[in-house]
Amino acid sequence: MSDLDTRPPEYAVGSVDAQGPEELLITARKVWLGKTTEVARALPDREIRMIGAWCFLDHYGNEDIAHLPGMQVWAHPHTGLQTVSWLLAGEVEHRDGLGSQVLVRPGELNIMTAGHGIVHSEMSRPDKPPTLHGVQLWVALPGADRDIAPRFENYPDLPTLHRPGLSGIVLVGEFEGVRSPARSHTPLAGADLTLEPGASVGLALEPAFEYGVLMVSGEATVATTEVAVDQLLYLGLGRDSVQLTSSGGARMILVGGVPFEEEIVMWWNFIGRSHAELVGYRAAWERRDDRFAPVVSRDEKVMEAPPMPTVPLKPRPRRKLQA
């Protein structure tokens, strides 16, 4: 996935964060990904920039692509983050500069750790299935790990949880006592939860985590708020449980983690800590520096970086501070 948003939200600088439970409903913005796929981007939001280390939440589909090209995201670089690719329907081919060539399929987690730098492409193949539905989530790496060697991991079998009226898959970190094998670098939770029609289920939360729930199908009441598709309910910190209720059934992606207190600079596909660092990443991509090993060859189709903003990018806190 690649960030082509030409009008990223602005963040004000001001006073203190809220630090307890809250219910803040965020409606995802529609953004074009390349020329072929429209995504609903729930994070970063104008107010909530991150939930734990989760810094980017895109939901795409459910789309009929039988007569469309599908996903056409050519080779592009990343730094300082992990991409978590999770399909609900369809198939996307991932290739990267480490030599990985993997079909991203429903039920299999693909997690790419960019660290120092990596290039990947995400393409629907000509013989693709007729539907495309999925999410791509980014996790910011903490200062100590953000320059590590890149790696790509595929987890075909993730742990599941079953409660009356609910089934779930733990993608990353730990949720309801179930731990994912995926390697993460800060305390996180990420889960795909399906509620049966008529279900009402209480789930345990970690009070030191902040959480959010992104609806990807159906509708549900999360805590006390009705949440529809492409809405993210931010739940804040300090809860030991959350109630999920749905009359018609629903599917949602829950994300959580310890608040990420480092201020980051996020621009295009890079995460760094200063404007100068991002200028350096962009220049390294422009000159096809060794930092960014090619996916196939230097002749492949690639995405060029947009111009740097004329106003210097400033490190931003995890949420917009009240003026």
Q: 235 and 222 in contact (C-beta within 8 Å)?
A: yes
Q: Which of helix, strand or coil describes residue 204?
A: strand
Q: Which residue lies nearer to Mn ion by CB, 71 or 195? A: 71
Q: Which residue lies nearer to Mn ion by CB, 234 or 268? A: 268
Q: Which residue lies nearer to Mn ion by CB, 2 or 79? A: 2
**Residue 119 Cβ, how far from Mn ion at the closest point, in Å?**
9
**Residue 6 Cβ, how far from Mn ion at the closest point, in Å?**
17
Q: Sketch the per residue contact string, 170 through 189, with Mn ion: x for CB under 5 A, - otherwise.
A: --------------------
Q: 45 and 71 in contact (C-beta within 8 Å)?
A: no
The residues, any chain, with a CB within 8 Å of residue 115's CB and separated by 6 or more, are 79, 80, 141, 145, 146, 147, 148, 149, 150, 151
**Residue 189 Cβ, how far from Mn ion at the closest point, in Å?**
23
**By beta-carbon distance, which residue lies closest to Mn ion?**
1
Query: Which of 105, 73, 76 lies closest to 89, judged by CA?
Result: 105
**Residue 282 Cβ, how far from Mn ion at the closest point, in Å?**
15
Q: Which residue lies nearer to Mn ion by CB, 1 or 205? A: 1
Site for Mn ion in 142-171 (CB under 5 A): none
Q: 203 and 195 in contact (C-beta within 8 Å)?
A: no
**Residue 305 Cβ, how far from Mn ion at the closest point, in Å?**
13
Q: Binding of Mn ion at residue 51 (CB under 5 A)?
A: no
Site for Mn ion in 1-20 (CB under 5 A): 1-2
Q: Which residue lies nearer to Mn ion by CB, 96 or 174? A: 96
Distance separating alpha carbons of residues 46 and 21, to the nearest angstrom = 19
Distance separating alpha carbons of residues 126 and 133, to the nearest angstrom = 17
The residues, any chain, with a CB within 8 Å of residue 134's CB and separated by 6 or more, are 59, 60, 61, 85, 86, 87, 88, 89, 90, 92, 104
Distance separating alpha carbons of residues 207 and 261, to the nearest angstrom = 17
Two structure tokens written together for 92 = 């996307």
Q: Sketch the per residue contact string, 29 through 48, with Mn ion: x for CB under 5 A, - otherwise.
A: --------------------
Q: Which residue lies nearer to Mn ion by CB, 72 or 200? A: 72
**Residue 4 Cβ, how far from Mn ion at the closest point, in Å?**
11
Size of the site for Mn ion (CB under 5 A): 2
**Residue 67 Cβ, how far from Mn ion at the closest point, in Å?**
25
Secondary structure (DSSP) of 219-280: -EEETTEEE-TTEEEEEES--SEEEEEESS-EEEEEEEES---S-BEEETTEEESSHHHHHH
Q: Binding of Mn ion at residue 137 (CB under 5 A)?
A: no
Q: Which residue lies nearer to Mn ion by CB, 172 or 242? A: 172
Q: Binding of Mn ion at residue 193 (CB under 5 A)?
A: no
The site for Mn ion (CB under 5 A) is made up of 1-2
